[in-house]
Chain A
Amino acid sequence: MGIGTEEGRKKHQARSGWLLSLPALVLLLVGASGPLVIVAVYSFLKPGEYSGVQWIFSLEAWFKVLLEKDIFDGTISLADAHLAIFWRSAKLSLLTTAVTLVLGLPTAWFIATRPARSRALWLFLITIPFWTNLLIRTFAIMEVIRNEGILNTALLALGLIETPIQILYSGTAVLIGMTYVYLPLMVLPLFAAIDRFDFRLIEAGYDLYASRWQVLRRVILPIIRPGIVAGSILVFVPSLGAYVTPRVLGGGKNMMIGNFIELQFGQGRNWPLGASLSMVLLLIVVVALLIYVRTAPQEDRHD
């Protein structure tokens, strides 16, 4: 067997490591990663007449991601509609990230500064929504912001408004929904970062005559920055690909890229375009993750 020699032991470990991981790898290959290759292939085919594809190589779908041909005069211009959807998705995702950060940082701070015993309970309270069905949470928000929902009913009863405020089926509704749905994803990594934070550093800061603002900016923020980056990525990535929340709260008009991709496989009747748009979305996510991976080790070096 060769166990005993360092070389042989390593080889044996590698082999058994791979063998043990094999079932998981096969499952993932068939049920998750492998099919992504098919999507890539489909993005280079021609759309079928109503749905599906024709097995003819074509760059049309990729061309359509960025450019569009006017149906009447044939002029080619930038596909501003696609860009608009990407821009709306990016804008809503960035806004969601920003709002969850503004709400999440104090929340994580609050939890981390509780006494050890109640801290576990507060943490548990944040975790429950995190594991709860996304659809249920979206539905819960819908019930709050509907024209006859509790928010409008309460405001009407208090006499603050005379007609219900239309929130449902707007960009604002999608933003509220996504903030609500993804807030725990921001709080958890922030908490992990703050929890490890040595509070004596703040004391040291004050001792050196730093103002509160200076302490926050110069001492606290740099140290919990990895938590901020991790939380932002965790919120930004799923927001960008969000499908359920914009579908339920956006009313079919405030589509995000995820909904637009689905549309191509149904009413839009253009599978290759749906495939190429999926690839673009995947690419953006990979870039975001790479940025994260590249910034993370640097943070470690600072420590």
Chain B
Amino acid sequence: MTERRKRFAIETLPGFTAIAIAAFVMLYLPIVTLVAYSFNGGSSVAVWGGFSLHWYEVASQNAAVQGAAARSFIIAASAAAIATTAATMAALGTTRRGKFTGQTFIYLMINQPLMVPEIVTAVALLIFFASIKVATGYSGLGYLILAHSAFCIPFAYLPIRARLEGMDGAMEIAAADLYANPWQVFRRVTLPLLMPGVAAGAMLAFVISLDDVVITEFVKSAGQDTLPTYMLGQLRRAVTPEVNAISTALLGMTVILLTAFFLLSKKRD
């Protein structure tokens, strides 16, 4: 009897389960409401007017939303590709080799976007890019892609590095023993083994880029709204279920990518 009482006490500290359940409800209730009301037939966000896909139709026919969605995807795909390539190289350069001078500096640089408040980076990029825009006359999507690539690097780097650290060097040594040149070793052995990490890194980078608000808001030029900055603009005035519909679509995208990410990282075991 005493034994059972103790076990119970170990597993659940008083009130912990209740608070935990409350926290989960608190986390999901607003999201569920948001998703539910995106299917609201009525035009109010508070009154239920029956199930309908009306607001998805409205959103998908809105030229501003179409443009913003397309831009979001272009930026996220480019930034994820650039950041993942750079991060893979950096991970190869900083993992599985002896400590070398400047390694700490490289770590610090790579993790810098995680440490500096986003608003400070945003302000810095606003000033910096504005002067480049004036000097070169170019005001295309390049600035946003560059900024996004930079802050996506740490997110791409972490899973790649984790994968690399868990990898056994024996295969590569064996390949080298069989007269494969370093490029062949990389292309035929290291990269395939590293692929789940690279894919996971790319997905995180894509999601992070897709969701960015602050830096995009400060860096964007004329007509360069992404879905999140378009929503931010809308939120300040009209709160129509159209915003719910866009949110739900973005949310779905994130959940799909995350699920894929988890399945990929599971493959590691």
A18 at interface (Cβ–Cβ under 8 A)? yes
Alpha-carbon gap, A184 to B28, bound state (A): 12
| A136-B37 in contact (CB<8A) | no
- Are A39 and B27 in contact, CB atoms less than 8 angstroms apart? no
Contact flags B124-137 to A (C-beta < 8 A → 1, else 0): 11111000000000
A274 and chain B: residue at smallest CB distance: B123
8 Å CB interface, B57-112 against A: 82-83, 85-87, 89-90, 92-94, 97-98, 100-103, 106, 109-110, 112
Known contacts A18-B93, A25-B106, A110-B17; is A125 also within 8 Å of B120 by CB?
no
Q: Which B-chain residue is minimally distant from A257 (CB atoms)? A: B119
Query: Measured between C-beta atoms, what is the minimum distance from A41 to chain B in Å?
Result: 9
CA distance A209 to B237 in the complex (A): 61
Q: Contact between B33 and A140 (Cβ–Cβ < 8 Å)? A: yes
Q: Is the CB of B86 within 8 A of A24?
A: yes
Structural contact, B89 and A281, CB atoms closer than 8 A: no
Q: How many residues of B contact A (CB 8 A)?
A: 91
Most interface-central of B34, B106, B110, B117 (chain A CB within 10 A): B117
Q: For chain A, what secondary structure do more than half of its interface residues adopt (helix, strand, loop), or is it mixed? A: helix
Secondary structure type dominating chain B contacts: helix
- Give CA–CA (A289, B114) in the complex, Å: 11
Contacts of B222 in A (CB 8 A): none
Given A25-B109, A109-B13, A261-B123: A285 touches B116 (CB 8 Å cut-off): yes
Q: What's the minimum C-beta distance from A199 to chain B, rounded to whole angstroms? A: 6
The answer to the question of B24 belonging to the interface, with a C-beta cut-off of 8 Å to chain A, is: yes
User: Contact: A135 with B235, CB < 8 Å?
Assistant: yes
* Shortest CB distance B221–A (Å): 16
- One of B86, B106, B116, B207 near A131 (C-beta < 8 A): B207
B26 at the interface (CB under 8 A from A): yes
Chain B residues with CB under 8 Å of A56's CB are none
- 8 cross-chain pairs, A with B, having the tightest CB-CB distances, nearest first: A241-B117, A20-B93, A31-B150, A110-B20, A35-B124, A14-B100, A140-B30, A106-B16
